[in-house]
Amino acid sequence: MLFVIYNKRMQRGYLAISSILIISAVVLAITISVSYLSIGEGQSSLALYKGENTLSFIEGCMEDALLKIRSNPLYNGTTIMHNGETCTITVVNGGGGNYTLTATTTDTSYIRTVQVVVNRDYSITMTSWKEQ
């Protein structure tokens, strides 16, 4: 009789320890999953921020190029550096006052390119502005 009571207590102890281990494993798995998801969301947010920042920079480079081609019809492009970022501007004269300007970032992580087609007769008329 004493053996049966002792055996039931041992089974309850094993059951309690097994339950604690299973619950701990489930909680640990949920915690790890949530951590990985939050890290992924953080990386996505950072990539979106840097991509938008690069797009703003490249559009600023293009606006600078448009100002330069307005004052100088022989402008043929340049490299612009600002706050550690660099963009390269190329100008192709299509004849008849038509120019195609392309601004590209040289950052390998977030490459952005903007192409603008303008007509320069007596004033600058923008025909197209597109991000490639």
Least Cα distance to 100 among 123, 67, 77, 72 occurs for 77
3-state secondary structure labels for all residues of 29-83: HHHHHHHHHHHHHHHHHHHHHHHHHHHHHHHHHHHHHHHHHHHCCCCCEEEEEEC
Query: How many other CB atoms are there within 10 angstroms of residue 70's CB atom?
Result: 13
Tokens representing 13 are 């102890």
- 57 within 8 A of 82, measured Cβ to Cβ: yes
Question: DSSP secondary-structure letter at 96?
Answer: T
pTM metric for this prediction = 0.70
Spell out the per-residue pLDDT of the chain, length 132, in tens: 445 555 565 666 777 888 899 999 999 999 999 999 999 999 999 989 988 888 888 999 999 998 888 888 788 888 988 888 889 999 988 777 888 999 998 776 788 899 999 988 878 888 889 988
